[in-house]
Amino acid sequence: MGKIPEYTIEKIKDANDIVDVVSAYLPLKRKGANYWARCPFHDEKTASFSVSPSKQIYHCFGCGVGGNVLNFVMEYEKLSFGEAVKMLAERANIPLEFEQVSPREQSDTGKLRGMHMRAIDIYHETLYSASGKAALDYLHSRGISDETIRAFKLGYAPETWDFLVSRLAGSYSGELIFLSGLAVRSEKDNRLFDRFRERVMFPVYDDRGNPAGFGGRLMKENAKDAKYLNSPETPIYNKRRILYGLNVTREMIRREKKALIVEGYMDFLQLYQHGFVNVVAGSGTAFTREHAQLLRRFADEAVLCYDGDEAGQKATLRTAFSVAAYKLDCRVLRLPQDEDPDSYLRKEGAEAFFRLEAEALPLMEFLRAYYQPSGMSIRQKSDAVGQLLEEIRSFPDPVYREMFTREIAKLFKIDEITLLRQLNRQSSRSQSAEKNVFTGEKPKHFKTQGEAAEYFLLQLLVNASLPVRKAGLRYLSPVLYRHPFLKQVLDALLEVLNTNISIPSGHIPDKIADPKCKQFIIQLLMEEQNGIDEEKLFIDSLKQLELQNLKLEYDRLTRELADASSAEIPLIVKKQMENREARKKLDIRYNKDIFLEVET
Ligand SMILES: [Zn+2]
């Protein structure tokens, strides 16, 4: 199946007026240019959720959510992008058409998958050849059966430097072989050689069963090489979104609504062959929130089965919060101190493991066992609670955030209200450092006039007329910005405007990848002020920005002067004089003529 072409998605967005769509869910009231309601995504008494009919976006000044009509439906109905597109297409009676992926993309991902398919076969055959004997013996000695080896197409990469490369070279270009991650380039003569050598090979597939990459394990551990080596990120291998084994186990997971999560390929295979067929493992990276999001499509519950040692328990804690953030019920299976799922199953068998699974602790019980709050000092308690709040604070669902905080309060025997207050204070503090210095409708607090200037210029780049945007492209640069977050936003905005200077402002957020920048820009869009003299504000802000930088430079020179040798002093004094002159000339340099300049 192809994907829905960009222009169809645009057509669907155009045909679904955001005010109409949102009104079906919430009572909207018009106030000024926008519509307002109490936010459906956080608990509030006054309306801070607003919808802009002209820009076709929504934004909540309370909790910071925002986006276009598709984002709203996704958030509100808890739909995937594809599902939201489908729903809005039906609403507007637009037939969905699919396109094939672009020829270039098609050829690359198609070829890369084909190449991996070949590599899987080659490694698998080699495992069952004479040169693979030691590897096969090793797998058998670890209790992996031939049936499992065949089912998961395990393989062996021999020691030879160009074993795989020489077999692929006839069919694929060197460039593509390099892109696949199966080969690396020699620094000396740029020649390609195999990335995986003398390793047992575990093919990794995406959840639809397309080959994506490999994990390779040393049979004998040595000090020089990593025990596990994984494919690098490639166009077909995104580690943060791929779970090992999900292509095989997804149906069982869907049926049981439950997934067992383990850390490694060996743990996975051992569980699978002992009849635990609703299992997944991370692949080449720790368990991420993207993994949780992926798993959420199939399961309601996750049971974490990590190593029994200290490192395993820490990994459990991290994973537990990733899983909880996406509203999977989480339980923790506890293994004896020096066991992992693989070793435990081989020693104790499936039934014992099954019992452990049945006894797996609910998350809060695990936290109690992990922290043992009753034995903690006050300082330890407050540190632990601080860390936990930090995790909870980034849960996307505010209701879930609050429920979790209440549980934590119970666990550590702290007053709920105090902790909830702390949660909100913590979030407003960590955001106020960056994101929400400039909140909503209230008068803005800027630390300096320079900061205000940086902010207004961003607002103009998004909202103002074409001549002002053009002047922005010519005169603004991230090096002029002091505020780190605003600098990042400017950088992202300039990139978008450089590709398309006349992009409708409501479409800009769709082009921004970073979620924080995106939300901030949506906020800028909602704050557009009518009746301001854009050109004057632009010039004033630009002058302010220059002035801020000149002043900082002047202060720096003054500090230099204090330590300068007598030979250096005249030069520094001269620079200071030039600096004062430059400040005086700002009015002459920046006037309305800057909007007339032709592009060079
Ligand atoms: Zn809200």
pLDDT tens figures, 138-168 = 999 999 999 999 999 999 999 999 999 999 9
Determine the distance separating the centroid of ligand 1 and the alpha carbon of 398, expressed in angstroms.
9
Q: Which residues fall within 8 angstroms of residue 98, CB to CB, at 6 or more apart?
A: 1, 2, 3, 4, 5
Per the document, the length of the chain is: 600
Determine the distance separating the centroid of ligand 1 and the alpha carbon of 73, expressed in angstroms.
15
Q: What is the pLDDT of residue 186?
A: 83
Segment 246-294, tens digit of pLDDT = 999 998 999 999 999 999 899 999 999 999 999 999 887 778 888 998 8
* Strand residue runs (E) in 40-121: 49-52, 57-60, 66-67
- Whether the per-residue pLDDT at 366 is higher than 60: the answer is yes
- Whether the per-residue pLDDT at 92 is higher than 70: the answer is yes
Q: What is the pLDDT of residue 99?
A: 58
Name which residue leads in pLDDT, 365 or 187: 365
Name which residue leads in pLDDT, 445 or 483: 483
Determine the distance separating the centroid of ligand 1 and the alpha carbon of 38, expressed in angstroms.
8
- Whether the per-residue pLDDT at 535 is higher than 70: the answer is yes
Is 287 within 8 Å of 322 (Cβ atoms)? yes
CA–CA gap between residue 262 and residue 283 (Å, rounded): 10
Phi and psi torsions of 30, nearest 5°: -80, 135
Give the mean model confidence (pLDDT) for residues 329-345.
94
- Whether the per-residue pLDDT at 223 is higher than 50: the answer is yes
Q: What is the pLDDT of residue 285?
A: 73
Determine the distance separating the centroid of ligand 1 and the alpha carbon of 442, expressed in angstroms.
16
Determine the distance separating the centroid of ligand 1 and the alpha carbon of 51, expressed in angstroms.
12
Q: What is the pLDDT of residue 102?
A: 53
Cβ neighbour number for residue 570 with a 10 Å cutoff: 10
Q: What is the pLDDT of residue 146?
A: 96
Is 283 within 8 Å of 239 (Cβ atoms)? yes
Determine the distance separating the centroid of ligand 1 and the alpha carbon of 524, expressed in angstroms.
16
3-state secondary structure 344-364: HHHHHHHHHHHHHHHCCEEHH
Determine the distance separating the centroid of ligand 1 and the alpha carbon of 420, expressed in angstroms.
17
Q: What global pTM score does this model have?
A: 0.58
CA–CA gap between residue 102 and residue 2 (Å, rounded): 10
- Whether the per-residue pLDDT at 101 is higher than 70: the answer is no
Determine the distance separating the centroid of ligand 1 and the alpha carbon of 487, expressed in angstroms.
26
CA–CA gap between residue 215 and residue 254 (Å, rounded): 26
Helices (H) and strands (E) in the chain, counts: 25, 16
Determine the distance separating the centroid of ligand 1 and the alpha carbon of 462, expressed in angstroms.
23
Q: Strand pairing of 279-281 and 329-332?
A: unpaired
* Amino acid letter for position 77: E
Give the mean model confidence (pLDDT) for residues 419-441.
53
Task: Classify 555 in phi/psi space as left (phi over 0), alpha (psi -120 to 50) or beta.
Answer: alpha
Q: What is the pLDDT of residue 595?
A: 82
pLDDT band for 508, please (50, 70, 90 cuts): very high
Determine the distance separating the centroid of ligand 1 and the alpha carbon of 159, expressed in angstroms.
58
Q: Report all structural domains of the chain as residue ranges with CATH numbers, in order of start.
A: 6-91 (3.90.580.10), 103-237 (3.90.980.10), 241-369 (3.40.1360.10), 372-432 (no CATH), 449-595 (1.10.860)
CA distances from 188 to 104, 146, 192, 193, 194 (A): 31, 41, 11, 12, 15
Determine the distance separating the centroid of ligand 1 and the alpha carbon of 63, expressed in angstroms.
4
CA–CA gap between residue 111 and residue 313 (Å, rounded): 41
- Whether the per-residue pLDDT at 531 is higher than 80: the answer is no
Is 320 within 8 Å of 363 (Cβ atoms)? yes
DSSP state of 228: E
Determine the distance separating the centroid of ligand 1 and the alpha carbon of 436, expressed in angstroms.
14
Determine the distance separating the centroid of ligand 1 and the alpha carbon of 430, expressed in angstroms.
17
| Tokens matching residue 277 | 């067929």
Q: Which range (119-133, 277-291, 484-498, 568-582) has the least confidence?
A: 277-291
Q: What is the pLDDT of residue 103?
A: 53
Determine the distance separating the centroid of ligand 1 and the alpha carbon of 411, expressed in angstroms.
28
Q: What is the pLDDT of residue 444?
A: 60
Cβ neighbour number for residue 419 with a 10 Å cutoff: 20
DSSP state of 237: B
Cα within 13 Å of Cα(457), Cβ side = 33
Sign of CA dihedral 489, 63, 59, 432: negative
Segment 38-71, tens digit of pLDDT = 999 888 888 899 999 988 999 998 888 899 999 9
Give the mean model confidence (pLDDT) for residues 231-255.
89
Determine the distance separating the centroid of ligand 1 and the alpha carbon of 497, expressed in angstroms.
29
Determine the distance separating the centroid of ligand 1 and the alpha carbon of 39, expressed in angstroms.
5
Q: CA angle 532-491-53, nearest 5°?
A: 45
Determine the distance separating the centroid of ligand 1 and the alpha carbon of 522, expressed in angstroms.
14
Determine the distance separating the centroid of ligand 1 and the alpha carbon of 82, expressed in angstroms.
24
Give the mean model confidence (pLDDT) for residues 546-554.
90
Q: Which range (122-126, 194-198, 330-334, 447-451) has the least confidence?
A: 447-451
- Whether the per-residue pLDDT at 106 is higher than 80: the answer is no
Q: What is the pLDDT of residue 426?
A: 55
Q: What is the pLDDT of residue 52?
A: 92
Q: What rounded mean pLDDT belongs to the chain?
A: 87
Q: Where is mean pLDDT largest: 96-110, 117-131, 559-573?
A: 117-131
Cβ neighbour number for residue 309 with a 10 Å cutoff: 15
Q: What is the pLDDT of residue 105?
A: 52
Determine the distance separating the centroid of ligand 1 and the alpha carbon of 54, expressed in angstroms.
21
Phi and psi torsions of 3, nearest 5°: -110, 165
Determine the distance separating the centroid of ligand 1 and the alpha carbon of 322, expressed in angstroms.
22
Determine the distance separating the centroid of ligand 1 and the alpha carbon of 470, expressed in angstroms.
34
Q: What is the pLDDT of residue 100?
A: 56
Determine the distance separating the centroid of ligand 1 and the alpha carbon of 59, expressed in angstroms.
8
Q: Where is mean pLDDT largest: 103-112, 354-363, 466-475?
A: 354-363
Q: What is the pLDDT of residue 440?
A: 36
pLDDT band for 597, please (50, 70, 90 cuts): low
Q: Which residues fall within 8 angstroms of residue 36, CB to CB, at 6 or more apart?
A: 28, 29, 30, 47, 48, 49, 50, 51
Q: CA angle 247-249-253, nearest 5°?
A: 125
Q: Strand pairing of 329-332 and 228-230?
A: unpaired
Output b/e per residue, 486-505; b: 16+ Cβ within 10 A: bbbbbebbbebbeeeeeeeb
* Amino acid letter for position 295: L
Determine the distance separating the centroid of ligand 1 and the alpha carbon of 41, expressed in angstroms.
5
Q: What is the pLDDT of residue 69?
A: 95
Q: What is the pLDDT of residue 434?
A: 34
Cα within 13 Å of Cα(7), Cβ side = 2
Determine the distance separating the centroid of ligand 1 and the alpha carbon of 37, expressed in angstroms.
10
Give the mean model confidence (pLDDT) for residues 127-136.
96
CA 185, 191, 197, 202: dihedral to nearest 10 degrees?
Answer: 60
Q: What is the pLDDT of residue 293?
A: 86
CA distances from 537 to 50, 440, 456, 477, 527 (A): 25, 19, 8, 17, 15
Determine the distance separating the centroid of ligand 1 and the alpha carbon of 65, expressed in angstroms.
6
Determine the distance separating the centroid of ligand 1 and the alpha carbon of 439, expressed in angstroms.
13
Q: What is the pLDDT of residue 286?
A: 78
